[in-house]
Chain A
Amino acid sequence: MKKLVSTAFASIALFCLSTAALAAPPIKIGALFAVTGPASFLGEPERNTAQMVVDEINKAGGVKGRKLELITYDTGGDATKAVQLANKLVKNDQVVAIIGPSTTGDSMAIIPVVEKAQVPLISCAAGSKITEPVKKWVFKTAQNDGLAVARIYEQLKKEKKTKVAILSVSDGFGASGREQLKAQASRYGIQILSDDTYGPKDTDMTAQLAKIRGSQAQALICWGTNPGPAVIARNAKQLGLTIPVYMSHGVSSKKFIELAGDAAEGIRLPSGKVLVADLLPKNDKQRGSLLAFIKDYQNHFKAEGDHFGGHAWDAVMLLKGAIEKGGDTPAGIRNALEATRNFPGIGGVFSYSAKDHAGLTKDAFTLVEVRKKDWVLVK
């Protein structure tokens, strides 16, 4: 009798195992996005896009016949929570790779976790320090702020403007931009006459702008994310500030034009190509990816895909390519990611290498100007 029971158990166990082997288990990918909280303007489109792309990959048969399973958690833009969730993804969910987080702060916080667990991370945040110096397991898709700064300075140099005023928001994004603006100035022969900041929730920046108006600055560079730059645009118009105003890529969405209204006219900013996809020349490498992403996002969410969602698109697609080439182990994925060359994505054309885990050049940015409530390319 006893023998019979144990044989029965054994056969049941065997049966279970064999069915499991027939349908290969999905490849688990972790995702951390700041879907709520102050950085939700990044996290929400990123989460939407990541889920959309994964669903589509699965619908088309998955990666090498295996489905992808996306496990998404919301960090709320809180670094402590990001670390807890990263640990959960690694230990409980046993994911093979993580995409996100949305902000530089969250990304920096979880780097020790993924380095220790040896799981590849593709961050969707912009801070240069995420991949400088290069960390073995950390990659990123969002364009470095340094590239945006270079794009602006290049234009100023072309117009022979050498004196600028900078006004940055006092959070991680602003601090990182400010650092880059100061570090690269001398390379382009640019002198920073005044260096001011404003709080992320400030509602009036006329004091800072009046000071800038009184200086000899030939251009104003403002580094922040909505709504601050829109307030600055309005205040600048109120004060009759005549020098050209440059914003950062942090406001490169239609929302900025909507918030700043008429005051947005003439403002320039570096942006990923997704904003001006339809204006790009036919032979642009990214054109195909861009138009596909925009159309897809429009169909799913009835909203225009922005370049924040694009960071997640790039992360999932890069991961897909890496799994195809390197297999489904964390180490295999990492090596295949590092070997990725000339991948035309939304943020730019990615070429990772052992020395570069950011993968982009300043060509990832185009300079756009607001004209009649829309974007035009600055020649």
Chain B
Amino acid sequence: MELLNQVTQFVISGLATGSIYALIGLSFAIIFNSTGIINFAQGEFVMLGGVLTIFSLNVLQLPLLAAIIVAVAVTTVIGLVFERLAIRPLKNATPLSLIIITIGASILIRGLVMLLWGKDTQALPAFSGTDPISVAGATLLPQHLWIFGVTVLVIIGCRLFFNHTISGKAMRACSFNPRAANLVGISVGRMVLFSFVISAAVGSLAGVIIAPLTMTAYDVGVMLGLKGFCAAIMGGMGSGLGTVLGGLILGTLESLGAGLISSGYKDAIAFFILLLILFIRPQGLFKKGETERV
């Protein structure tokens, strides 16, 4: 019975952490799908979400909701500026050099945040209290419900956007074949810009909702970014739901591994899974092999 309770707790904790990975993974996938770039500054968008909310809350004295909106908006603008200044000017760059640029950008953003707001870890107050909720012998916090809720909303939003709006469809077209998309009158450049904007917004939102649980500092983006990247790889860098499942599986395995085997191997488990998938199923867990290639 005790073991059962423990396992329930491991799974619930794992799912909560997994939703965060899923959200970050999604924002990786959005950019990858329209540009073929893996944006390694994604973790920094997550960090900016948290840090800017705390700044708006404590220094600008805004109410929580306004602070969140300001933080997400500012991060989105940073994503837009980043694309304009660092990605757009390089017309014929290979994805590899663009990826290296994103690594450079991540170091730059981290450095600037460190200089502006210092190196201290800061905490954001929980959105709706810290009284634990008991579920089937395990406990979770109201903040976990916020994380689950926001993740579900973002997934639904992405699905609607990519399948049912002109812009979303255009972005998918660019991901399949940029040249053909251009020929039918889609502005590929604008779609790339869009993808950075959406991904910055999703990433910063993830950063905001996890900040009350995990706290935030200028360097939290590195590990979160890597874990999100794992989730995206598990989902095959594409299909929205695949990435989400990838994140949830990763979080749960980590938590079960830490609880049942040994906590020392927690990160090793994540990266072992990543390597295994890259070796065995590089197309992702849930994606059929690409058949349209001739």
User: What is the interface of chain A, defined by CB distance below 8 A to chain B?
Assistant: 36, 38, 40-41, 44, 167, 170, 196-199, 201-204, 206-208, 210-211, 213-214, 226-227, 230-231, 234, 237-240, 255, 258-259, 261-263
Contacts and interface: CB of A to CB of B under 8 A. Distances in A.
B6 A211 contact: yes
A261 B132 contact: no
A204 B13 contact: yes
B292 interface: no
Nearest to B224: A203
Q: What range describes how many residues of B lie at the interface?
A: 35 or more
B263 A207 contact: yes
Interface of B: 2-3, 5-6, 9-10, 13-14, 16-17, 20, 114, 119-123, 125, 130, 132, 138-141, 210, 213-215, 217, 219-220, 222-224, 254-256, 258-259, 262-264, 266-267
A231 B214 contact: yes
B222 to A, nearest CB: 7
A206 B120 CA distance: 23
**For the complex, would chain A's binding face be called helix, strand, loop or mixed by DSSP majority?**
helix
28 contacts: A38-B219, A41-B119, A197-B264, A198-B263, A201-B219, A201-B222, A202-B266, A207-B255, A207-B256, A207-B259, A207-B263, A208-B263, A210-B10, A210-B138, A211-B6, A214-B2, A214-B3, A214-B5, A214-B6, A227-B215, A231-B213, A231-B214, A237-B130, A238-B130, A239-B132, A239-B139, A255-B121, A263-B130
Contacts of A41: 119-120
A214 B266 CA distance: 20
Contact of B9 (A197, A203, A210): A210
A203 B17 contact: yes
Contacts of A255: 120-121
Nearest to A209: B9
Given A204-B214, A208-B258, A210-B9, A262 B16 contact: no
B220 A201 contact: yes
A227 B121 contact: yes
Contacts of B259: 207-208, 210-211
Given A198-B266, A238-B140, A203 B255 contact: no
Nearest to A260: B123
A196 B263 contact: yes
Contact of A203 (B114, B130, B213, B264): B213
Given A198-B263, A238-B139, A238-B140, A207 B258 contact: yes
Residue of A167, A203, A210, A262 with most chain B CB atoms under a 10 A cut-off: A210
Nearest to B9: A210
Given A203-B20, A207-B259, 11 more contacts: A167-B263, A199-B223, A207-B9, A207-B256, A210-B5, A213-B6, A230-B215, A231-B213, A237-B132, A259-B122, A261-B123
Contacts of A197: 262-264
B9 A262 contact: no
B120 A210 contact: no
B266 A199 contact: yes
Contacts of A38: 219
Contacts of B255: 204, 206-207
A230 B123 contact: yes
B213 A204 contact: yes
B10 A226 contact: no
B9 A206 contact: yes
Contact of A204 (B16, B219, B222, B267): B16
A189 B10 CA distance: 32
A199 B267 contact: yes
B13 A234 contact: no
B1 to A, nearest CB: 10
Nearest to B257: A207
Residue of A211, A226, A262, A263 with most chain B CB atoms under a 10 A cut-off: A211
Residue of B17, B20, B123, B256 with most chain A CB atoms under a 10 A cut-off: B123
A171 B76 CA distance: 35
A214 B10 CA distance: 12
B66 to A, nearest CB: 22
Contact of B13 (A207, A226, A240, A258): A207
A31 B245 CA distance: 51
A240 B139 CA distance: 8
A263 B143 CA distance: 15
A182 to B, nearest CB: 15
Contacts of B219: 38, 201
